[in-house]
Amino acid sequence: MPNQHIVPHNGKWAVKREGSSRATIVTNTQAEAIQRAREISQNQHTELIIHGKNGAIRARDSHGHDPFPPKG
């Protein structure tokens, strides 16, 4: 399953599936986009990747099948 990205989108915020050119959801605030993307990511067991206004990754939130305890 592709990861979900929160990205700036024409003055708003978009939830985009990795590899897709189209936004799944467009919201007015980053907080709303994060909330919606987190729901999708949890349902699909994928990673949520949050980008800042400059496009750089600022946070990651994994909802996949991570091993516990982590290997290391």
Is residue 65 assigned to a domain? no
Is residue 31 assigned to a domain? yes
**Confidence at residue 65, expressed as pLDDT on a 0 to 100 scale:** 64
> What is the model's pTM?
0.84
Helical (H) or strand (E) element with 34: helix 30-44
Is residue 36 assigned to a domain? yes
Alpha-carbon span 39 to 11, nearest angstrom: 23
Q: Tens digits of per-residue pLDDT, 3-53?
A: 999 999 999 999 999 999 999 999 999 999 999 999 999 999 999 999 999
Q: How many domains does the chain have?
A: 1
Is residue 63 assigned to a domain? no
Q: Are 12 and 28 in contact (CB under 8 A)?
A: yes
Alpha-carbon span 58 to 35, nearest angstrom: 16
Is residue 34 assigned to a domain? yes
Q: Residue 31's domain spans which residues? A: 4-56
Is residue 64 assigned to a domain? no
pLDDT band at 68 (very low <50, low <70, confident <90, very high): low
Is residue 68 assigned to a domain? no
Is residue 62 assigned to a domain? no
Q: Where are the beta strands (DSSP E) in the chain?
A: 4-9, 12-17, 23-27, 47-51, 57-62
